[in-house]
Structures are given as structure tokens and as C-alpha cells.
A = this chain, B = another copy of it.
Amino acid sequence: MKTENTETEILNAAKEIFQQKGMAGARMQEIADKAQINKALLHYYYRSKQLLFEAVFKSAFMLLAPQLNKVLNDDSDLFEKIRRFTENYVSFVIKHPYLPNFVIQELNKNPEFVLKLQSEKNFPSIDKFKLQVSDAVKQGVIMPIEAEQLFINIISLNIFPFIGEPLLKALVNVDKESYNKILENRKTEVAEFIINSIKNNKNEN
């Protein structure tokens, strides 16, 4: 009886395959091979491809959510928060290289999926961040900007370089190694780029 072990073995194999090939491109047999078990076991534990996929997807999102919460519900100072998030995010994605792309991609092909996620307890909420931004604006720490726009900017600058890697690597015309250096530099560059844009230079208090 390996019981519990097999189930997670399957989930791990499924994560790899689904995240690399997507729902449509993944093959149940390939997942079974990677988990080194009989294909029937996939159905024994997860009933169907759809359900196995949903387990993988939910698990992936649950890994991503706390990352996003770092920008949204952390209590630290706005600038510090931006710095910490941009620095942490790179290391996170290096550990899970296919994850952001996977989540984005499947969400695009299945937009109603988001409803299931939103009902989860720890789904990130932007409310606290909005207050923090409007406070910073009122106190003259930063130039007027809508929290939504700032949030979208932060996320875009951090996530897209990974999702668009093949395209950007070709456009910037560098090899894998140089691109990784560029990404490494972004750990600090992006935060300064953002802060530089929003900080209010007229008030030096």
C-alpha cells in the first residue's frame, strides 16, 4: 500500500506535463509514464482528465496567489513593498518556470475559470493596496496615480519578461545566458523604474 504517495506522484507528474503543454496538448499516457504508473490509476484517483487538470490548475494558482498578495496585502511601506516584490518574484519564477504562463494561458482559454478562483478565501483583493496608494498620493509621497494602473504596471513589468521570454530574447537579440543576466538585473531595476516614475520630487519632506 503506497496509497497517499501515488496520488501526489500523479499530481506532480501532471503538473509538469500540463504546465508545459497545456490542457489540450497534454496526454494522459504521458502523465502516467512520467509518474511511472498505469494509466488507469489516473482515473482511479482523479476520475477524468478535466478533474486532474483542475487539481493542477488550482494548485498552481494557490502558489501564485501569495506572491500577488505581497503587493496587495502586505503592511510595509509602498516603496519597500515594490522593491521586495520585484526582487522576490524572480526567484519564485525560477523555481516554477512554467507556472505564470500556464495560469495566464489557461485563464485565457477558459475565462469562466476565474469565478471558481475568486470564490476561494485567499483570493487576492486589491482593497488595501488602493487605500495605501491614495494615502501616499494625499501625503504627497507619490504623484497622482490610480492604484489599478499602478498595480497593473507592477504586475506587467514583473511577469511579462518571463511569459514573453522567447519573443523578447529574439527581439533584444541575446542568447539565453545574456537574457538571464538581464532578468537578474531587473530584480532591482524594475523597482527603481517604478519608484522613479511615481515618486514626488517636489516635496522633499
- Where the two chains meet, the residues of A that have a C-beta atom closer than 8 Å to any C-beta of B are 20-25, 68, 72, 101, 103-105, 107-109, 111, 113-114, 117-118, 123-126, 143, 145-146, 148-149, 151-153, 155-157, 159-161, 163-174, 182, 185-186, 189-190, 193-194, 196-198, 201
Q: Are A151 and B126 touching (Cβ within 8 A)?
A: no
| Chain B residues whose C-beta falls within 8 Å of the C-beta of A197 in the assembled complex | 193-194, 196-197
What are the 3 tightest A-B residue pairs by CB atom distance, in nearest-first order?
A197-B197, A24-B25, A156-B160
Q: List 19 A-B contacts (CB under 8 A).
A: A22-B22, A72-B171, A107-B167, A108-B166, A111-B166, A114-B167, A123-B170, A125-B173, A146-B185, A149-B186, A151-B171, A152-B160, A155-B160, A159-B164, A160-B163, A193-B198, A194-B197, A197-B197, A201-B201
Contact B153 A193 (CB under 8 A): yes
A102 to B175 Cα, complex, angstroms: 23
- Contact in complex: B22, A167 (CB < 8 Å): no
Chain B minimum-CB-distance residue to A115? B170
How would you classify the secondary structure of chain A's contact residues: helix, strand, loop or mixed?
A: helix
Distance between A122 CB and nearest chain B CB, rounded to angstroms: 13
Q: Say yes or no: A156 contacts B161, CB within 8 Å.
A: yes
Smallest distance from the beta carbon of A45 to chain B beta carbons, Å?
24
The CA of A157 and the CA of B146, in the complex, are separated in Å by 15
| Residue from A72, A118, A170 having most chain B Cβ neighbours under 10 A | A170
**Whole-angstrom distance between the alpha carbons of A148 and B104 in the complex?**
24
- Across the interface, which residues of B come within 8 angstroms of A170, CB to CB? 114, 117-118, 123
Chain B min CB distance to A142 (Å): 11
When distances are taken between beta carbons in the complex, the residues of chain B under 8 Å from A24 are 21-22, 24-25
A107–B168 Cα gap in the complex (Å)? 11
